[in-house]
Structure formats: C-alpha cells, structure tokens
Structure 1
C-alpha cells in the first residue's frame, strides 16, 4: 500500500527554508486541533492520577500500595507493549485513537461511580488501573507515532516537545485542582472530570482533515513482525543503548507518585494540598524543559545522556533535603532535567528509526520506559515503607546515575571516543576525544552509527 498524498513531506505551511521555532507545529491545522483537545484531556488525567494515588493511600495507609497501583497500570505495557507497536504500524492511527480515548474515558467514569456510591475499595482501583494499562498498550504507540503523520519529519522533534509541554502544563493545573477538590468535595469529582475530558480529543480527531495527514506506509499483516522489530533495534547500537538507558530511568527514576506521597506523609507530615503543590512545582520545571527542547533544531546523544545524569544527581540531592523549602525548590529542577531527557530521547529515537519500523521501535521505547514501573514501583514503595522516604529516593537516584554513566561509556566506545582528563589551566577538565583508530572496536555485524 502506498503512503498518502503528503507522506514524508513537510506541511505546506512550512517551507524548506523556514526556521523551526518553539511553536512551529501550530502552523499545521490538524496538529492545533489535536493539541488543544489533548490539553483538556491531560488536565483530567492528572486530576485522576493525584486523586487515585491519594485514594489508595487513604484506603491502605501504604506507599507500597500506591506502588502496586502504578505497577498494575503499567504491567500490560511490560507484557504486551510490543504488540501495540505492531498494531500501530498496521492500522489507521486516527481511528484507533478514537477507540482508545473512548475506552479511557469509560474507566474514569466507572471509578467516579464507585467512589460516589461509597463502595470503592482498593481492589476496584487495582482492576481499573490494569484496564487503563491494557488500553494504553495500544494508545501509546499509536499516539506517539501519529505526531509524525500530522506534522511530517521536519517538525517531529518540535511537535514531540510541544506535546510534552502540553502534558506537563496540565500537570501544573490538574494536581492543584485535584488537591483542592479532594479536600473540599472528595476525589470522586476528579474521576468524573477525567472521564468527561476525553470527549475533547475524540471531537478533535473527528474534525481532522485526513487529506492533510502524512501517514507512513502501513505494514501489511505478516508473520515475524515482532521479531523483525527486535532484530532491527538489536542491529542499531545507537537505538539499543538509548532504550536501555530509558528503561533504567523509567524503572527507578520516574516513581514520583510514590516518593512524593511518602515525603508528604512521612517527612513533612502534611496532606493532599502539599502533595498537589509538589507535583505542580515539578510540572513547572517539566514545562520549561519541554519548551527548551522544542527550540532545539537537533540534539546530540551525549546531551541526552548528560540530561539523564543531571536528573539522577538531582534525585540524590533531593533525598537529603533538610526541610520542605529546599525539597520544594528542587522539584522544578528535577522536572526540567527529567523532561529534557524524556523529550530528547523520544524524538531522537523516532527520527533515527525507519518509518516502517517506527511503531515497533517506539513501543519498545514506551515498554521499557513505563513498563519497568511494575518492577521499580513496588520495590521503591517497599524501601520507602521499610526504611523511609529518603532511602527510597536515594536508591532510585543512584541506580539511574550508574546507568547513565555506564551507557555513556558504552556509547563513547562504540563511537570511537575516550574520556580525556586534563589538569592544565585553560583546558576542559573532562572531555570526550577520538581514540586512536586501532583502539576502535565494534561488535561483529553491528550496524554502527556515529554517536554525536
């Protein structure tokens, strides 16, 4: 099947000589509709996340239970995530997204009904979290790769960054509103708002001009497509090791709900308002990180790995924060570094992948990024319950920092670089420089691409 009329080309509103600015993707009508529909839904999603985490904490009094909820929500991605990528490469992504958004809305309305009638228990939350995870297996790779269909390859990095800014901007509003709402009228209203919010992106998808989309060629049904995707990534060390790093950061570094609940309760002896405030502060930094990434026309792999190292180091520093003020000041910095890493890793992996493989590659990216939560979430929750919130946070930060350093050394070796240490005045103390040609080795048969 041949690609659509505009496949592979930049939108008509952006010429080849136009400079990509922070909001260049807004020139594309379909993207504008998609962006503003998702903005409404994202606010509802963050309201539900905060209300759900706090509901589980109220029902059980356990940080580990919050970790189990997160684990169940992301377990389907770990188990079935690659199949979602195969489906995204095969079918019409717009129609697929209409179905997944409707299903996610129904889960929010169900949780609202259970909470309003005062029959909700933690097992209801667990089941609904697992159902959300099942839908997300299909929704996530379709939504991620649909960005390229809307804006074309030239604006892909810009659009991915704006989508992240959209999601994190909602994190500024959603947690704050949810915190006030939980204290004033109860969490059921947050669940109801989330369920209804999915009407907006569905309307946006229905309003799109399909003739202006830039779809990649659909992959016909066939045997071995999952293996083909894994083989493709395995032959691309630049993709493979970036995905490995994403897996470590996602598993051990992105457990914010657990840490913030634990610090709010154990360290600061506070309530849902403080929990919502800390989430909003982190979101503020994330928005800045996403917008800064949107301005970058390109990025280097070493920049992405460096962002992972900075993010990990900030987690370690936050674990030792002596009081609430210092901890709160660190939240925007953690958000900025974490979002910079996430956006640059996502866009680099998409741009570097063959369009016919993009769904499977991005599903592997999402599988390790969010699918590691069933491993990291309960472990971090248990550490926080048994040894305190500070131990849980510093443990995750140290694992992530070790992974960033390890992947940096591997990618440097693949790229023919070595670390140079110079103590001379006026020179950089640490720098990556080319190794002598005879030192450079690579795995036999590997498709090596330069690591910038």
Structure 2
C-alpha cells in the first residue's frame, strides 16, 4: 500500500493532540500547584519541574531510536496508553490520603518518562501524515490545537481547583483526555501503519551504536548543530519562566491558582496567535529568520515582565512571550525535520526535545534554589536578557 499524505489526516491527528493537550496542561497545573500547596517553596516547584529533564535525559536517546526502528501506530498507541497511568495513580493516592511532596515528585517523574517516549513518535507522525511539502503547516496546525489546549487546560484546572478546593477532579479529567485520544489514533491506524515500516531485525545495529549515530549526525551537520545551539540558549535562559509560574504567582504576586491559570492561559493565547502566523507556507530561509526573531521577542517581553508588580500588565506580557515562545519552537521543529535525513529523523527530533523539554526545567530548578537569596523576578529578568544577547550573537554568527 502506497501512503499518500493529506491535510485532513494531519488535521485529524492535531485534533486528537488538542484533546491530549487539555489533559496535559490540566495535569501540569495541578502538579505544580500541589507542590506549592504542600511546601510553599519555590525550590519544591522547581524540583517537580526537574522531574521532566531527569526523565528526558535518561530516556530521550532511547526514545529516538525506538521511533526510528518501529512502525508508528503500535508505538504511539502504546505510549499514549502509558500517559493514563500517572493521573490514575495520583487519583488513587489522593483518595487514600497518601499524597505528599515525595509522592507528587515520583508521579511527575513517571509522567515525564511516558511523555518522553510519546513525544518523538508524535512529532514524526505529524511529518509523515503531511509530507515535506506541508510539514511546517502541519506542525503549526498541531501547535494551534496544542496551544488552544494550553488555554483551555489551565483555565479549566484553575476553575476546578478554586471551586472545589481540590485537584482530584483535575487528574480525573486528564486521564479521560488521554484515553479519548486513543480513539483518534485507532481511526488513523491504516495511515500510521503504511507511513513507515519497522526496521527488519537483520538490519538493526546495537542500541548503543544507533544512539551514538544520532549525536554524531548533529556534530557533523552544521545547520543542525546551529539549530541545537539556538534551542539550548532559548531553553536554558528564556523558557524557564513557564516552569516557574506557580512560584511567580504565589511569591512575586502573592496570589493563588486564579493568577496561575491566567498566566498559563495568556501564554496559550499568545502561542495560538504565533501558530496562526506560522500557517503560511514559507521557504527554509524565511522560517529561519522568523525563528530567530521570535526568540528575541520572547526574551525582550520577559524583561519588563520581571520588573512589573501590576498583574494585568504581567499577564499581557506573558501573552507576548508566549507568542515568541511558540513561534520560535515551531520554526525550530520545522527546520529540524526538514533538514534531517529520514533515517535519523526520530533520533534528531528526540534529541531536540531533550534540549527543549530538558534544559528549561533544569534551569528552573537552579533558579528555584537561587531564589532563596535573589528575588525570583530578578533571576527571570536576568536570564531573559542573557537569552536575547545569546540569540543575537548566534544570528550574527549565522550571517558571518
């Protein structure tokens, strides 16, 4: 059977990812707020955020190899099913009265492991369903769905937590959302099975060699290495503000889950607008320029955000930062997939997500520790300024 890419196929898949995204952002808000509620410590919030990079560092290279080796339908159905485990276990320990900060940290780690294996196959499936001619539009379409979920999920979680005083229903909703996506995956099973076949056993090389080949490919491909340098600067110095929203809402603004929800929803609104901008078909050079510009927009918005004590101004600036954040991410994702050989795409995409998802929480955890001596908003603003300088320097190096 010859696979034929179609816009309707990746639009259907994006719809499913939007549903999953609602569950993800509900759960993310609930985990962050549970950490703050149980400890009232920025360090605890940063430690929960640290679960993500730990899981990513441990498993992302292997997840990339699995994506390159295996047929997409079976792999994505399995990893999507695993996402249901963390919210269900959280519900159980919540009901049994066993919830504590160490338990929250362990559950966040388990969820991050499942997300790490789900992310590369999900990203490459988008490209397979669209084909190279529609890749950037497919990633933007998926981003619209995910960032619509970014607005709905935190807002819904905030309403539930404020009205009930509990996170119990938030985790129940997340589990239902993750389960519902399996219906979309099974509806597309024929397309997913025919888009790429598993690597035959006789053609497989040892796992360690396959993993090392991915790193070697980045080092030996300058245009990919440059994108990874941008992702590292972006994720270490600018993006950590998203991981620290609970602490910013609680410590800097002395507020509660309603402001946390407003921050996350504003970021989602800005991200949605950025994704709409990226729906237009563009060449690789134009995408590259937009990507660098968007990274600067995010960094420059965070500097006044770190200086204001007026809530509505802070929320508005988070929206601008969200626009730059997701536009830069869509650009980097598109270029990584467009400029990578098909045989390495799963590994390179997985290593990209290792940087994008792993570096920011590590930085957030460090900021959480430093916040015991330096005001949190000053740390965020300083990181944003360094991010802007780094992106500008890398752009100048690219033109040299």
TM-score between the two structures when normalised by the length of structure 2: 0.93
Q: Compared with structure 1, are the counterparts of its residues 127 and 212 closer, same or farther at alpha carbon in structure 2 (3 Å cutoff)?
A: closer
Higher mean C-alpha deviation, range 282-291 or range 300-309: 300-309
Aligned to 2:290: 303
Residue in 2 aligned with 1:253? Answer: 238
Tell me if 1:5 matches 2:2. Answer: yes
Q: Is 1:200 matched up with 2:185?
A: no
Instruction: Give the structure 2 partner of residue 277 of structure 1.
Output: 262
For residues 59-107 of structure 1, what are the alpha-carbon distances to aligned partners after superposition, in whole Å with 9 as ceiling and x for unaligned? 0111111111111122121233111111100001111111111111111
What CA deviation, in whole Å up to 9, does each residue of 1:108-158 have, x standing for no partner? 111122123322001111111111222223211111101122121111111
Equivalent-residue separation in structure 2 for 1:216 and 1:408 (angstroms)? 36
| Shift, 1:401, TM fit | 1.6
Alpha-carbon spacing, 1:199–1:217, altered in 2? closer, same or farther (3 Å): closer
Gaps in structure 1 of 5+ consecutive residues = 12-24, 414-452
Distance 1:263 1:202 in 2: 35
Q: Deviations over 1:321-361 (max 9, x none)?
A: 24222212212111111111000110111011111111111
Q: How many Å separate the matches in 2 of 1:375 and 1:36? A: 31
Residue aligned with 1:150, SS: helix
**Any conservation in 2 of the 1:53–1:257 contact (CA below 8 Å)?**
no
| Secondary structure, counterpart of 1:270 in structure 2 | coil
Partner in structure 2 of residue 440 of structure 1: none
| Cα distance, 1:402 vs structure 2 | 2.6
Stretches of structure 2 that go unaligned for 5 or more consecutive residues are none
How many residue pairs get aligned? The number is: 392
* Cα 1:35–1:374 shift into 2, 3 Å: closer
Alignment of 1:343-358 (within 5 A): 343-358=330-345
For the 8 Å contact 1:267–1:389, the answer to whether it is kept is yes
Aligned equivalents of 1:323, 1:265: Cα separation in 2 = 14
SS at match of 2:195: coil
Q: Pick which of 180-189 and 390-399 moved more.
A: 390-399
1:52 to 12, 27, 31: 31
Query: Structure 2 CA distance, aligned partners of 1:251 and 1:146?
Result: 27
Distance 1:43 1:134 in 2: 19
| Aligned partner (choices 182, 199, 214) of residue 229 of structure 1 | 214
CA contact (8 A) 1:91 1:218 kept: yes
Q: Cα RMSD between the aligned structures? A: 1.8
Contact 1:75 1:374 in 2 (8 A): no
The equivalent of 2:279 in structure 1 is: 294
The answer (yes or no) to whether the contact 1:105–1:198 under 8 Å persists in 2 is: yes
The reply to whether residue 333 of structure 1 matches residue 314 of structure 2 is: no
Alignment of 1:58-69 (within 5 A): 58-69=37-48
Deviation at 1:214, TM superposition (A): 5.8
Query: What is the Cα deviation at residue 306 of structure 1?
Result: 1.9
**Residue in 2 aligned with 1:365?**
352
TM-fit CA distance, 1:205: 1.0
Q: Is residue 182 from structure 1 mapped to residue 161 from structure 2 by the alignment?
A: yes
Which secondary structure does the structure 2 equivalent of 1:175 belong to?
A: helix
Partner of residue 449, structure 1: none
TM-aligned CA deviation for residue 410 of structure 1: 2.3
Structure-2 change in CA distance of 1:136 and 1:384 (3 Å):
same
CA positional deviation for 1:255:
2.1
Aligned residue in 2 for 1:210: 190
User: 2:156 matched to 1:156?
Assistant: no
CA distance in 2, matches of 1:212, 1:164: 20
- Equivalent pair of 1:238/1:411 in contact (CA under 8 Å): no
CA distance in 2, matches of 1:244, 1:31: 29
Give the CA deviation at 1:10: 4.3
Instruction: Judge conservation of contact 1:380–1:396 (CA < 8 Å) in 2.
Output: no
Larger gyration radius, structure 1 or structure 2 = 1
Q: CA deviation at 1:212?
A: 7.4
Distance 1:331 1:48 in 2: 20
Distance 2:138 2:301 in 1: 27
1:422 corresponds to which residue? none
